[in-house]
Amino acid sequence: MSTAAAIASTTYAETYRPQFHYSPAQNWMNDPNGLVYYNGQYHLFYQYNPSGSTWGNMSWGHAVSPDLTHWTELPVAIPQDDADMIFSGSAVVDTKNTAGFGSPGNPALVAIYTAANKTTGNQSQALAYSTDGGQTFTKYAGNPVLDIGSNSFRDPKVFWYAPGNEWIMAAALSDQHKVTFYSSPDLKQWTHLNDFGSAGATGGPWECPDLFPLPDPSDPSKEKWVLVVNLNPGGIAGGSGAQYFTGSFDPVHGFTPDGIPPAGTSLGSFDTGTFDGLTPTGTAFGSGPATGTLPGQMPVTGWAGAGYASSFNGGDASTGKLSTPDFNINKNYLNFLIGGGNHPYVPGQVTPDGIPEGTTLADFEGADYGSGWQTTGDFMNTGPASGTLANQNPVSGYIGNHLVNTFTNGDGPTGSITSPAFTVSHRYVNLLVGGGNHPWGSPNPTAVNLVIDGQVIQTATGQDSEHLGWISWDLDAYQGRSASIQIVDQNSGGWGHILVDQIMSGDHPVSVAQDTSVKLVVDGRVARSATGQDSEHLDWTSWDLSDLQGRTGHIEVDDNNANTYGGAWAHILADQISLSDTSVPAVLQRTHWVDFGRDDYAAVTYNDAPDGKRIMIGWMNNWDYGQAIPTSPWRSAMTIPKQLSLSLINGEPTLVQNPVDQIAQLYTGQPAATQNLALPPGTTPLPANGQAMDITATFTAGTATSYGLKVRDGGAQETLIGYDNATGDVYLDRTNSGNSGFASSFPGIQRAHLPTNNGTVKLRVLVDWSSVEVFANDGQLVLTDQIFPDPSSQAVQAFANGGTATLNSFTATQVSSAW
């Protein structure tokens, strides 16, 4: 059936058909795409399946509206072809004709979309253009215009950046939880700028980014940038969700999010050009803090202030440590920014310069090898070496100042160095070994042996290296026996020497630390530790120290990973270490969410909206159950268009969203109203009912534990919009909202923390035939949920649980159909 025929055969009065939200006449729809205002019309493109009511055959559907309220569905704008499906993207008016598709007085409407190859899965960015106002589109013959060979590179949002006289693209590197930025003079040739992420919520692939400025609420003469990132799964309410970041943007520095600097006592901010009293060892941290991305490193983001600690000096192979002086733990929390490699600290491991737990059999720190040690051959009358000997390559890995080194006169000397007998009293002997690789049993060995009753029970040799590494011998079968250590050098050729140090008897085999971590060390033991997430973005971590009050400890920023085994991410990043009375909230809680309900995804904004307004629309559905919702012959709708602004709430820039004013065109009849209504415990009927309404209600708590509204109420069906005094949460409860058997994950209660406004809570609720959108305290937060009640469930009631409340004011206006 053609689009025109489908529209003609649709009544727009089917059960659950939204009356003032856009839905297609029939078939499947998901992400809004290409939101742009052009020649007096708001264009709404969207992911569309022309052939069915579930996802597939992705093409761009198309609708237009003069007022964001009355929509006209048009034929499919950009259809899939044999090679590619047409995934999400954006649209711009090329006023300057930079791409050359338009003509004087008739700029082209250019769509920038992801071409998803049906055979390979490769995702590249492509163009289609229209010179007839969006009625028809032509795919650019030079497609793709941007291809990085990835199956997870999609959803370009493009806008004109006037300060640079250039186009900017924000696209998702979905599997990396990153937004990548590009610039172009003509929409055809793109240059990579930088990336942002990972940050915030990363519970699922990132999709559909959007970047735009709004007036800065602390100084409206300036701009603050907002970066919206959708993800699925990983939303705050489960399944799909949309998060946002506020910060600054320019093409050179990319997007820099606003930080969360918790008040407290600084232990290291790294903003003075020094390590702020932290002592460095090794080479990894260089001579001072990093002030940007280091050579050979991917772009680093998320640090606060002028500098941060980075162990990427010299790349991933370098190792080292930063240590604070000891301090008294006198606050309940330690907060810090951390990034870099995901190599956690493992209890019991020793650092490369550390000593495992146990009894020292020999450390070779004296003038001779030790009491009772015997020497033969060329090693008679010798003693431990103080590191590297004459003509020897640099020796490393030994502990202290001395070691056994048989390079006494080059590789020529031979002989043995043997310990006195000792009783095997622990399961393991751990020791450091280096030098030539000439195992015991081969001709002319360079080996260290454990000898019992004249038999070599365990043996080790070097690896043709002047670096000493740990060796562990399991002696479980020889407990109580008499043993000795024999160091043998019978080789006078190349690598004809052996290095030995720090022979220990212990209960555990030695395990060498490979961590990249931040540690709190108390009384010589690691009490807390954290590592990076294989990301160059620094994010906040908070440790609860309430059980350590009054103790003494210090912080170590450790890079013990020399990238010996290949791979990457063998470095650590840290910043803003401080003791505080306040913890940094967990990632999901401190993430800013566009919507706390379950049904607002792929939220993006219009380019070129009149009067500089920033208008957002989202897909009113959730991938958890989106293909099963009980609607026909269409499936899915869009959220109400919302006008955006920023407001300072608790000192923090917060996205404020409210329905566009044009919804008032659909109001019908006189509003039902009441005020100063005392609410006793239980349910109180209100003078309103209907399937499509715009309701505003203001409450004061009284003694009630919770209170609010019931909408689409009828018998056993109800949808609750309430406020929980115990938790300070506004909530939307659709557990009994009607038809929900199509998915077990559909029923539920969504919550968001909302401080009262001098004891009052204001709720604006848009009720449509299959949806509820809640705008709390003038749009400070939003909850959007689909509901599928019986058409007869139309009552509106107030409720108070566990006590009384007051309904200060209430108005309910009927909303007529936009169709």
Q: How far is CA 487 from the centre of its chain?
A: 53
pLDDT digits (tens, 9 = 90+) for 217-234: 999 999 999 999 999 999
What are the helix and strand counts (H, E) for the chain? 2, 59
Residue 602 near residue 242, CB atoms below 8 Å = yes
- HSE-up of 583 (CA within 13 Å, CB side)? 12
pLDDT digits (tens, 9 = 90+) for 169-197: 999 999 999 999 999 999 999 999 999 88
Residue 200 zone, left/alpha/beta (φ > 0; ψ -120 to 50; rest): left
Residue whose token pair is 């870099």? 340
- For residue 259, pLDDT over 80 is answered with no
Alpha-helical runs (H) found in 289-382: none
The residue type of 426 is H
Q: How far is CA 83 from the centre of its chain?
A: 33
Tokens of 605: 């904004």
- For residue 40, pLDDT over 80 is answered with yes
Nearest to 694 by CA among 763, 797, 610, 746: 763
Give CA–CA dist 205/207, Å, rounded: 6
Residue 322 near residue 338, CB atoms below 8 Å = no
Give CA–CA dist 527/815, Å, rounded: 60
- For residue 565, pLDDT over 80 is answered with no
CB atoms within 10 A of CB 186: 15
In this structure, the strands spanning 516-522 and 525-531 are: antiparallel
Q: How distant, in Å, are the alpha carbons of 527, 550, 558 from that of 521?
A: 6, 14, 12
For residue 165, what is the DSSP state? T
Give CA–CA dist 707/705, Å, rounded: 7
Give CA–CA dist 8/532, Å, rounded: 57
Tell me how many degrees the CA angle 417-421-423 measures, rounded to the nearest 5.
Answer: 140
Burial of 147 from C-beta contacts in 10 A (0-12 / 13-18 / 19+)? middle
Helix (H) or strand (E) holding 61: strand 59-65
pLDDT digits (tens, 9 = 90+) for 26-39: 999 999 999 999 99
Helix (H) or strand (E) holding 816: none
Q: Supply the pLDDT for residue 263.
A: 77
Q: How far is CA 98 from the centre of its chain?
A: 35
Residue whose token pair is 């856009």? 22
Phi, psi of 704 (to 5 degrees): -65, 145
Lowest model confidence (mean pLDDT) among 243-257, 664-678, 768-782, 803-817: 243-257
pLDDT digits (tens, 9 = 90+) for 453-465: 999 999 999 999 9
Q: What is the mean pLDDT of the chain?
A: 95
- For residue 1, pLDDT over 60 is answered with no
Q: What is the pTM of this model?
A: 0.73
CB atoms within 10 A of CB 715: 10
At 682, the pLDDT band (50, 70, 90 cuts) reads very high
- SS3 string, 652-686, reads EEEEEEEECHHHHHHEEEEEEEEEEEEECCEEEEE
At 73, the pLDDT band (50, 70, 90 cuts) reads very high
Q: Supply the pLDDT for residue 637.
A: 98
At 305, the pLDDT band (50, 70, 90 cuts) reads confident
Can 544 be counted among the known catalytic residues? no
Give CA–CA dist 378/116, Å, rounded: 73
Give CA–CA dist 284/315, Å, rounded: 8
Q: Which residue of the set 31, 411, 600, 733 is catalytic?
A: 31
Q: Is 610 helix (H, G, I), strand (E, B) or coil?
A: helix
Tell me how many degrees the CA angle 342-343-344 measures, rounded to the nearest 5.
Answer: 105
Give CA–CA dist 730/706, Å, rounded: 9
Give CA–CA dist 390/409, Å, rounded: 8
Give CA–CA dist 74/372, Å, rounded: 96
Q: Supply the pLDDT for residue 10.
A: 78
